[in-house]
Structure 1
């Protein structure tokens, strides 16, 4: 994915590991370790499910290239059953070797007619450098509260279904106020914002499988395509139609 934008992305998350390089401009973002800044040539990274945002530094346009990697792919490369517990250490890194490996992999993966072996080698080479320098198995921190975990599980498993604070609070064994306060404290966004993002990610998967945006909107819980489009642009910076066209 190649993007140039002055868009301010609200707090959101992705299903997979994200790795990219900022081509020009500068960006400030909120991450799991606090506020960070990235400039041209910096590698930008994010873990699956990690809440983050992004805004241009000083309001200008910034451009970047990004790849999103299936956690199962990372687990396969690690050949380790504990791979699901690993995480990228820093959301921004100045690492010219990794940036070079990324650009090489991105070119191979987006080059029409590129040999499968060349694509695979370029991607695995990037992963090898990423795994050596920027991924760790972190020590266990505080366990998330069971109530918030149950609420997130419900929203993750069926984002297309309507939800209410009363339903989520009942699942969590608390009051609506208690659920809302705990969810924002632990996750970083409200349950509704989390639900909308889960629906957008579901719609993106459906579009990638060939479903037209209008049908993907309804199947993922949006009342119509226009609501999906607004949420899609806020989260990814492009429309569902452009995303579908980019898939070829």
Structure 2
């Protein structure tokens, strides 16, 4: 009984080390395997605790030096899930032949969600909200907002890592119920409002009603054109820049 408790304690410490190494998952980014060096580095302590046999450990290591890429915010969850799977492989409860397919499907799916929700919506929301508060002179609130979001992100990483270790693949079903994609879409609407608010804050005073509502209508029309795919966003961006330069030169 004591040996079992000691083994669990050692395994827990190794998993904590794997979690901390998740912060360096992008440190060894390369054009061949992308994030595979950092990911295998994060997996290393957990694999060493799971496999005591050197040959089994070497085989397990080779499974994670292949191509790997996902959003870094998901690294703790993915490391935890694959460590949980490795425990099942060690016990003969998971066919190792399915690991590559599972690894690619899970990492790429979460990568798409992460790019949309975290990079494409969440980080932009933080940046725009911070700009709004700074323009309004709310410097302390802007700092506290950023610190709060940073702390929330760390809590998110700890929670997903813990869930991945304890629930394994079953946590993916729970994650699906979070409906993160739709939350990302809602954040994008909020970002559009924040852009409009920044424009309002920067607009010269006294406020010209016709110019304001006319410009807002044009921005709304451009957003609709881009969303419906009628014109590429790059074309719209270049057009806006060119018109802006012309206005600065001739007005």
TM-score range, shorter chain: under 0.3
Q: Structure 1 or 2: larger helix share?
A: 2
TM-score, normalised on structure 2? 0.23
Which has the larger Rg?
Answer: 2
Greater strand percent: which structure?
1
**TM-score, reference length from structure 1:** 0.23
